Amino acid sequence: MYEVKDRVCSLTLNRPEKKNALNAAMVSDLKKLFTHAEADASVKVIVLKANGDVFCSGADLESLQQLQKNSHEDNLKDSNHLKELFYQIYTLKKVVIAQVQGHALAGGCGLATVCDFVFAVPIAKMGYTEVRIGFVPAIVMVFLLRKVGEQRAKQLLLSGELISGEDTLKFGLVNQLVAEEQLSDEVISFCTRLIQNNSIQSMELTKQMIAQSQSMTLEDGLSYAAEMNAKARATDDCKRGINAFLNKEKLTW
């Protein structure tokens, strides 16, 4: 589901009867919706949320059953399909916020992990249970290592344990815990602050740099940073922002 209000685009997982489990069709739909939201000039921030009691339970049972019949080529194609969605969200030009109103498990937790911010209810269980069914959390591992570091990633990925509440904050899976009845309002309030206070060009360049610079050597990273610094100075937003700052004018983006 795709909805835009006050420059916030809400993308809603809408298979509550299947606990919003991921299958090939759902991944395709999400890729199309994120592509549309990225190009939509009326959108500044994107919220990924879900209908029902569960945010996302991971792979669809029918998809898991099909894995046993697939050839290597079929499995690689399916894996690349999910990889492309995760990479798309992680590198999307616009900020993506996960609104986790219920459990986010395995691939569903991966879906939240690749978002820029995660707001969750305290009772939401999160984790990667793949090792408990003889599988591997392969694709999300690449992003989780960046997000929480090796020690915490190992504990989550190798144990397969689910965590909730303050533990999700401690492990870095969640930015903020919010009571269920306040979750939607808190997310919208945060979106509004980003929309009113921050330049979309600046957020885009900053997000791009975070994704790119971590794989560089120190020297290459600094050279890249200097280049992006110079590029940012030439943007219309930077010129407008500096002018407002110097003239002590209130700026609303």
Residues of the chain with pLDDT > 90, as a percent, come to 79
SS3 39: helix
Instruction: Name which residue leads in pLDDT, 108 or 64.
Output: 108
23-48 in b/e form (b: 16+ CB < 10 A) is beebbebbbebbeebbeeeebbbbbb
Tell me how far apart the terminal alpha carbons of the chain are, to the nearest angstrom.
27
pLDDT digits (tens, 9 = 90+) for 142-173: 999 999 999 999 999 999 999 999 999 999 99
Beta strands in the chain (DSSP E): 2-5, 8-13, 45-50, 95-100, 104-105, 117-120, 126-127, 176-177
Are 92 and 45 a contacting pair, CB within 8 Å?
Answer: no
What confidence category does residue 67 fall into, taking pLDDT thresholds of 50, 70 and 90?
confident
User: What CA–CA distance (Å, rounded) separates 167 from 189?
Assistant: 24
3-state secondary structure of 10: strand
Query: Where residue 197 falls among pLDDT bands split at 50, 70, 90?
Result: very high
Q: What is the pLDDT of residue 68?
A: 76
149: left (phi over 0), alpha (psi -120 to 50) or beta: left
Indicate the SS3 state at residue 148. Answer: helix
Question: Would you name the residues annotated as active-site residues?
Answer: 130
Region of 19 on the Ramachandran plot (φ > 0 left; ψ -120 to 50 alpha; else beta): left
What is the C-alpha separation between 158 and 169, in angstroms, rounded? 19
Asked if 100 and 121 touch (Cβ cutoff 8 Å), the reply is yes
Quote the pLDDT of residue 174: 97
Model confidence at 78, in pLDDT bands (50, 70, 90)? confident
pTM: 0.92
H or E segment to which residue 228 belongs: helix 218-233
